[in-house]
Structure 1
Amino acid sequence: MTTKKILIVDDEAAIVAVLEELLTEEGYTIIKAYNGLEAISIFNKKQHIDLMIVDYCMPHLNGRRVIETMRQNPRYSTTPVIVITGSEKQFSNFPEDSTYQFLIEKPFNLERITETVHKLLG
């Protein structure tokens, strides 16, 4: 059985570390990007990704732009996405609802993260 790969994109290293530890314990392989540009680089390398968890508010390239770039690539057009944010969803440049599957607000409950990941990856 192949281990499912999750791309975590967040500019806060502590959040990436917590999610990596949590999801590694659940048996997933973690790929990390600390900003949107690193995520784009991973897409360009055509690395296999089963799920992406992306922060909305990041410098250089926000979560919306990361998701839009991901969706333009046929390889990732149907990859499930979880958006995590400490921001209000009312922003006009927030990702469109149809581009992601779940929105989880910071501070988040770790159990909710694992339940959501299991729901999306089976």
Structure 2
Amino acid sequence: MTITAQDILNARILIVDDQQTNVLLLEEMLQSAGYTNVSSTMDPRTVTGLHRRHAYDLIMLDLQMPGMDGFQVMEALKANAIHDYIPVLVVTAQPGHKLRALQTGAKDFVSKPFDMVEVKTRIHNLIEVRLLHQRLADHNEALEQEVLERTADLRESEARYRALTELATDWYWEQDSEGRFTKVSGPVLEMLGMRVESLLDGPDAPQDDGWNVAERVALQARITARTPFLDVLLQHAEADGSVRRYRVSGTPMFDANCSFTGYRGFGVEILS
């Protein structure tokens, strides 16, 4: 995020003064210092529109002007600001106006009659700060866009994962942090012939629903401990005396603050 000397000399500068002699003096001073992009206006009413179109890196603004003084110009700039940084350097012959100018939004000031060394130094410093501020804003905007794009990619990837899981397994499931099922997909109800909630209920659930009690209690212990599990065996006794066997896998889910939000996983029937 380094600002070079040429970056500063290429900065967009607007001079606003109703006195042509002041405008010419400042233009000559800036051009002799190497600044390459200097423009001016003697009509303060045009400043807001000009800044909206050209996004100046520095506005040298005289305070004492007829029709619309420098304070009114700064208020108009703030009301129409695209960015929160208004790069105004106030030019004034009235020492009492300096504090009010800073309170109104000016970033710095120079006094008339001009001390050219001081003016050049303040201009250089303000432009450097302005360019650094803009680089930081652009960097933050790029980061925000990258986050949005990565979030979209993550959601798309998760959707593909779920779709593939649903195709490759007999059912896909999600639970919230309280153990309640929030999503179940696949032919699980028809396949098991029972409520899916009974699959992962805790040890207090009815024990006559056909599931192997020891296997289910062991699985519930893993979920309570919030550990992932892979291909855990669950067996279910059917009414005709046969036993159906299933492999269940799951992983805990956490939000951006690392808070536990639940589990998700899938299951398949073991066909022998």
Does TM, normalized by the shorter one, top 0.5?
yes
Structure 1: gaps (5+ residues): none
Select 2:25's aligned residue among 12, 15, 18. Answer: 18
Query: Relative contact order: is structure 1 or structure 2 higher (C-alpha 8 Å, sep ≥ 6)?
Result: 1
For residues 17 and 72 of structure 1, do their structure 2 counterparts lie closer, same or farther at Cα, with a shift above 3 Å needed? same
CA 70–112 in structure 1, closer or farther in 2 if over 3 Å, else same: same
AA aligned to 1:11 is D
- What is the CA–CA distance in structure 2 between the aligned matches of 1:27 and 1:87, rounded to whole Å? 29
Alignment of 1:1-122 (within 5 A): 3-28=10-35, 29-44=37-52, 46-75=53-82, 77-89=84-96, 94-97=100-103, 99-122=105-128
TM-score, normalised to structure 1, is: 0.84
Residue type matched to 1:35 in 2? D
Greater CA radius of gyration, 1 or 2? Answer: 2
Q: Alignment identity in percent?
A: 26
Give the partner amino acid of 1:112.
E
More helix by share: 2
Counterpart residue identity of residue 77, structure 2: M
- Cα separation, 2, equivalents of 1:113 and 1:90: 18
For residue 40 of structure 1, what is the amino acid of its counterpart? T
Tell me the TM-score normalised to structure 2 length.
0.40
Task: Give 1:88 deviation, angstroms.
Answer: 4.2
Aligned 8 A contact 2:90 2:110 in 1: yes
Cα distance change, pair 41–10 in 1 and its aligned pair in 2 (3 A): same
**In the alignment, is the contact (CA less than 8 A) between 2:48 and 2:73 conserved in 1?**
yes
Q: Secondary structure of 1:75's match?
A: coil
Where structure 2 has 5 or more consecutive residues not aligned to the other structure, the ranges are 1-5, 129-272
Identify, as 1 or 2, the structure richer in strand.
2
- Root-mean-square deviation (CA, aligned residues, Å) is 2.1
